[in-house]
Amino acid sequence: MPIRAPRVQKYVGDERFLCTYGDGIANIDLAALQAFHAGHGKIATMTTTQPGSRFGVVDVGADGGVRQFREKPRSEDWINIGYFVFEPRVFDYLEDNSVLEQEPLHNLAKDGEIAAFKHEGFWQPMDTYRESVMLNELWDRGAAPWKIWD
């Protein structure tokens, strides 16, 4: 969904603000995220993580022999998990019909105006029915890792 920049900007004004996609859940330390952002001087901070594989992995040798099994390993790559801190100057990168993941984030990166906050804790998207069921079961059992309040 496009961000309606002028519609949001009037509420944000000249203040730093947090933004999220709203389709994932995490136990991000928001104070640490904001301190990281304040310390680097860039327009934007994107929270990233190394997701676990949905499947176990089989390491296969050149001869076709199975070397080992790795159960749902973490990726070596970092991905955007949709939690941001922005300075008001981010609106210079947004137009009325901007899609944040396209030109705005790419241009911020090109201009050296975005940093990655590396989150190594819990993160789970809720893009499918299966993920919704799993997250609701965690909540119902009282085992939700994102519930960091009393």
- In the CATH scheme, what is the homologous superfamily, with its name and number, of domain 5-50+81-140? Spore Coat Polysaccharide Biosynthesis Protein SpsA; Chain A (3.90.550.10)
97 pLDDT band, cuts 50/70/90, is confident
Is the pLDDT at 76 greater than 80, yes or no? yes
Length of the chain: 150
Q: What is the mean pLDDT of the segment spanning 71-89?
A: 90
User: Which of 9-13, 85-89, 143-147 shows the lowest per-residue confidence on average (mean pLDDT)?
Assistant: 9-13
User: Can you give the pLDDT at residue 150?
Assistant: 78
Q: What are φ and ψ of residue 85, in 5° steps?
A: -125, 130
User: Can you give the pLDDT at residue 75?
Assistant: 81
Q: What is the mean pLDDT of the segment spanning 63-80?
A: 86
d(C-alpha 90, C-alpha 43), whole Å: 6
d(C-alpha 114, C-alpha 105), whole Å: 8
With a CB cutoff of 8 Å and minimum separation 6, the contacts of 13 are 88
This prediction has a pTM of 0.83
